[in-house]
Amino acid sequence: MLLTVTDRGLYCEAGDFYVDPWLPVPRAVITHAHGDHARWGCDTYLGARDGERVLRTRLGVGATIRFASYGEPVNLNGVRVSLHPAGHILGSAQVRIEHAGEVWVVSGDYKTEPDSTCAPFEPLRCHTFVTESTFGLPIYRWSPEAVALDEIRGWWRTNAALSRASVLFAYSLGKAQRILAGLRDEDIGPIYTHGAIERLNRDYRDSGVAIADTIYASALPRRHDFSNGLILAPPSAGGSLWLRRFGAISTGFASGWMRVRGARRRRTIDRGFVLSDHADWPSLLDAIAATGAERVWVTHGYRGPVVKWLVEHGVEAESVVSGWEGEGETELLDLAVAGEEIVE
C-alpha cells in the first residue's frame, strides 16, 4: 500500500509525507486551501502554484510552503509526486503519487464542470483513487452554472426594483469568487462584500482571476443606501447584527445543498440557488470510471452510497474515515438527508 490511513492523516511511508493531514506533521502535501484540508501547524507544505496566495492567507506568513506548477514532478524521498487540477477552487489539486510502478491519486475535493476561477479538472489514470463523496447520492444533479447565475440576476433585479437589498450567502473561499466572476458585467447595482470574502477577493485578483468589482461594506457610512445592491456574505453572517445596516433585505443562499427543500426551509432564507464546487452524483461516477482504478477509497459526505454503488458494479471500494468532513458545504450535511423533497 502506497498510502495508509493513520490518526494524523493519509500517510505515504515510502516518501515519508502526508496528504492533507488533520494533525500537524513534518511534511504535508496539500490539495487546496479549504480549512479541513489545509491545516495550520505542519513543518513544511507542498501546494499548487496557482493557489499560492489563498494558501498563504490560510496558513499564515510563517508557514514554510513549497509550490509546484500543475504537472511538475517533485521527488519526495524517491517518490514521484505531482499536482494536477481538481477544478474545485483556485489552486485546488489532485495529488498523483507514483512509486515502484504503482500510482495513487488523492482527489481532494473536485468538480468536473469548468468555471473561470480555476483550472479545469484533469482526469488521471491510476491504480487506486481516493475520491470525495460530498454529494454522493443520486438526488444530487446540478444544472449548468449559467442557470444559477441567471436566477441570481433575476432575484437581484426584482429586489432592486422594490428597493430591497439582496443578501447572498456563499462560502467565502471559492464559491463567492465564482459568483463574482459570473456577475462581472452586471449593471443592476453595486456589489458589496463582508470582510471575510473581501480578503479572498484580493487574493483571487492578485492571482489574475477576473471577478466583478466589489465594495467592502463595513468601510461605508452607516447611513449608506444599499437598496439596489448585492451583498455577498459568508453563511455565518446569517442572523447577525451585521445584517441590520442594509435596511430592507431579501436573503439567498448559493450551495449544492439548496437542491433539497428541507435544507432551505431550515436555513430560513428567502431563496436557494443550486451551485456547488463539488461533483454531483453522475460526475462522481464518471470521474471515478475515468481513472480506470481497480481500487477506490471514498472519503467525505455520503461514503456509504458511493461504496455500495461501486461494489455492485465490480469495483473494489471502501469507506475511509478522514478529518476532512468539516469544510464549508458539509456544515449543512446534517440538514440535508436522503429522501428529502427535491427542488425543481
Q: Which residues bind Zn ion (CB under 5 A)?
A: 34, 109, 324, 327
> Considering beta carbons, is residue 88 or 271 the nearer one to Zn ion?
88
> Considering beta carbons, is residue 5 or 215 the nearer one to Zn ion?
5
Distance of CA 200 to the CA centre of its chain: 14
> Considering beta carbons, is residue 93 or 188 the nearer one to Zn ion?
93
> Considering beta carbons, is residue 151 or 327 the nearer one to Zn ion?
327
CB of 275 vs Zn ion, minimal distance in Å: 14
CB of 184 vs Zn ion, minimal distance in Å: 23
Long-range contacts of 67-73 (CB under 8 A, 24+ apart): 70/119, 70/122
DSSP 155-177: HHHHHHHTT-EEEEE--TTTHHH
For residue 232, with 0-12 CB atoms within 10 Å meaning exposed, 13-18 middle and 19 or more buried, which class applies?
buried
Cα 14 to Cα 75: distance, rounded to the nearest angstrom:
11
Provide the β-strand partners of residue 22.
Answer: none
> Considering beta carbons, is residue 110 or 192 the nearer one to Zn ion?
110
For residue 24, with 0-12 CB atoms within 10 Å meaning exposed, 13-18 middle and 19 or more buried, which class applies?
middle
Q: Specify the amino acid at residue 294.
A: E
CB of 223 vs Zn ion, minimal distance in Å: 38
> Considering beta carbons, is residue 109 or 145 the nearer one to Zn ion?
109
Cα 165 to Cα 160: distance, rounded to the nearest angstrom:
6
The residue written with cell numbers 447595482 in the block is 189
CB of 31 vs Zn ion, minimal distance in Å: 8
CB of 322 vs Zn ion, minimal distance in Å: 9
Cα 19 to Cα 175: distance, rounded to the nearest angstrom:
23
CB of 254 vs Zn ion, minimal distance in Å: 15
Measuring CA to CA, how many Å separate 86 from each of 114, 124, 275, 321, 330?
Answer: 10, 10, 17, 21, 18
CB of 39 vs Zn ion, minimal distance in Å: 12
> Considering beta carbons, is residue 133 or 214 the nearer one to Zn ion?
133
